[in-house]
Structure 1
Amino acid sequence: MTTATTTGAKAHAREQELAAAAELPRVLHPASAYVGELSPGVSAGDLVWAETVPPGGYTSLVVAAGTRVRVRDTTGDACAHLLVFHADQPTERLNVADTVKVQWQAFLTAGHLLLSDQGRALATIVEDTAGNRADAPRHDALFGTSTLVRNAERYGSGDVFGPSPAGRELFALAAAKHGLTRRDIPPSVTFFEGVSVSDDGRPAFVGSSGPASITLVAELPLIVLLASTAHPLDPRPEFTAGPLDVVAWPGAPTVPGDPAWDATPEGRRAYENSTAHRRTRGADR
């Protein structure tokens, strides 16, 4: 088939779309068409977003404060690299260093917050079926995502259109959809593949949690970026990545009385800062 003519180019484009749809579904419109497993009490009619991110792919979505975002590794091969930005002022974004040091915890799991450098809670992890813990880490808040150079050295390519796309390259594409540049991309957190650190500071790749999911609550309006690519410390010689199932549904931010609010003094202060920020903008009454 030639693409030298308009007719040929149109036929080729439609053929590509059919091939992609047959291989793996992407965004579902409407999200209520979703037929996968959902959290208790949530139905497909509640969803505002439903998508399958293919291996080596990425996605981005903008969600309102209170939105639940669930990311699921359906095969046990996925590694989800995540960034979040304050949608109303994207200069405020995930700060992994503060997330770790303020909470005295490098092994994030349910009950932990994703913090910005403004002392605010951007999101809360409310469910983690992988059960991350220090003796068997299944997520990683220390080593970030892969780069073009590193993937080229390890797999022969790190280009987004190649067979082993690098996480930072995927994030650059996702960020550009929101007017953000490479300079705006901070270190990310990783879910479903963990790294332990020995007493002398040496990292050891732990591997996959198996099929699992994490659910986040957006404490502020967020830009959410996700990339599905191999962990930078994955020792396997072959590029390995799996699909990510992403769904979102409306909810409410964390408020006083929620067990998470007073779980730690550090978390309480972050929630208070986020609540005050929403109120000054008329989001909370």
Structure 2
Amino acid sequence: MNIIWNKTLAPGDRWSGNICKGRLIKFTSLGEGANLSMLMYNFRNLSEHYNAPDTMKAQHSFFLKKGHVIISDCGRALASIVEDDLDGHDTATGYTTRIMTDKKYGFTSYQKDGNDYLKSGQENFINELTKNGMSKRDLMPSINLFSKIDADERGNLIFIKDYCPKEASVTIRTEMDVYIVLSNTPNPLDEKKEYPSVPIKIEILNAPPIDGLDYCVNYSKYTRRAFENTWEYNTLLGI
């Protein structure tokens, strides 16, 4: 399949963009130990966004993997995971903050270090959101691609080390027109003392038409319901 657009997101970098329905977005880790934080919104109504509790509850899962749907706070399928080299992606730990980044990796700032200062996920997200007339009040829990979290018997969250190998990829399919925001910053629970340095390749392709045998649509009755809600929404808008 022909690649429509591609980009490599350097460590610490951010990006956001509007992507129409029916696209494949393939993310590939160009090194070991990647983490890519992602937010997702309905492009036509930015107040509708990825909802972590509903996504996890409806699919009875603590993490996202192939077959799972990224569900909005309106119960619609924003996107689905159609290919995945890994065994799930983190939905629980959120993104790094300025205070967290300075404490773990040492103080840096733009005034002191220029473009080499160590960026946080929160700063990256806010900077991108403002480009679309949004602000920090539009922040929400992120999906952390390429990272996986477990929990012990006491409920403590545990970062799984050495989880993502080089060249691991995950592909999502847009089910409606979406606005996505990306931050190539560390997972908050990553114990590494040095700021991770893993570029992420992003490729966008056309997705084949969905049929009645689609794996994600039929993953469970809950995912099908989310798809049906999206199909209704798209049909009424004539999309």
Counterpart code for 1:239: Y
2:53 aligned counterpart, secondary structure: helix
- 1:251 is aligned to 207
Q: In 1, distance between residues paired with 2:179 and 2:17?
A: 6
Aligned residue type for 1:156: G
Q: Secondary structure of 2:63's partner?
A: coil
Counterpart CA distance in 1 for 2:197 and 2:55 is 26
Task: Rate the CA distance shift 1:151–1:128 in 2: closer, same or farther, 3 A.
Answer: same
Q: Output the amino acid matched with 2:221.
A: P
State the partner residue of 2:62.
Answer: 106
The alignment partner of 2:122 has SS state of: helix
- 1:209 maps to amino acid: C
Equivalent residues of 2:81, 2:216 under 8 A apart? no
Tell me what 1:182 maps to: 136
Picking from 101, 117, 122, the partner of 1:151 is 101
For 1:157 and 1:82, locate their aligned partners in 2 and report how far apart those are by CA, in whole Å: 25
Question: C-alpha displacement at 1:231, in angstroms?
Answer: 0.9
Structure showing greater relative contact order (alpha-carbon pairs closer than 8 Å, 6 or more residues apart): 2
Task: Tell me by how many angstroms 1:199 deviates.
Answer: 2.0
Given residue 84 of structure 1, which amino acid in structure 2 is its aligned partner?
M
Distance 1:128 1:278 in 2: 26
Query: How far is 1:117 from its partner?
Result: 0.8
Any idea what the Cα deviations from partners look like across 1:195-233, whole Å, max 9, x if unmatched?
A: 211121011111331121110000110111111011111
SS in structure 1 of the partner of residue 64 of structure 2: coil
- Normalising by structure 1, we get a TM-score of 0.78
Shift of 1:176: 1.8
Moved beyond 6 Å, runs of 4+: none
Per-residue Cα deviation, 1:137-158 (whole angstroms, up to 9, x for no partner): xx21111111112112222247
The whole-number CA distance in structure 2 between the counterparts of 1:240 and 1:70 is: 21
**In 1, Cα distance between the equivalents of 2:85 and 2:76?**
25
Give the conservation status (yes or no) of the 8 Å contact 2:95–2:142: yes
RMSD over equivalenced CA pairs, Å: 1.6
Specify the SS of the correspondent of 1:190. Answer: strand
Alignment partners' CA distance in 2, 1:209 and 1:87? 30
CA contact (8 A) 1:69 1:249 kept: yes
- Alpha-carbon separation, structure 2, partners of 1:252 and 1:93: 25
SS in 2 for 1:177: helix
1:232 partnered with 2:188: yes
Note closer, same or farther for the CA distance 1:255–1:183 as it changes in structure 2 (3 Å cut): farther
Which entry has the higher C-alpha Rg, 1 or 2? 1
Long gaps (5+) in structure 1: 1-41, 133-138
State the partner residue of 2:17: 61
**1:30 matched to which residue of 2?**
none
What are the residue-to-residue correspondences of 1:10-49 with 2, within 5 Å?
42=1, 46-49=2-5
Given that 2:41 and 2:47 are in contact with CA atoms closer than 8 Å, whether structure 1 keeps it comes out as yes
In structure 2, how many angstroms separate the alpha carbons of the residues matched to 1:159 and 1:169? 12
Q: SS where residue 245 of structure 1 aligns?
A: strand
CA contact 1:66–1:251 (8 Å) conserved in 2? yes
Partner of 1:209: 164
**TM-aligned CA deviation for residue 165 of structure 1:** 0.9
Q: Secondary structure of the residue that 1:90 maps to in structure 2?
A: strand
Identity %: 28
Aligned length: 233
Structure 2 CA distance, aligned partners of 1:50 and 1:61?
A: 12
1:121 shift after superposition: 0.6
Residue 218 of structure 2 corresponds to 262
Between the aligned partners of 1:155 and 1:210, the Cα distance in structure 2 is 23
More strand by share: 2
Matching residue of 2:84: 128
Alignment of 1:89-104 (within 5 A): 89-104=45-60
Runs (5+) with no aligned partner, structure 2: none
What letter is aligned with 2:164? S
2:33 corresponds to: 77
Cα offset for 1:102? 1.1
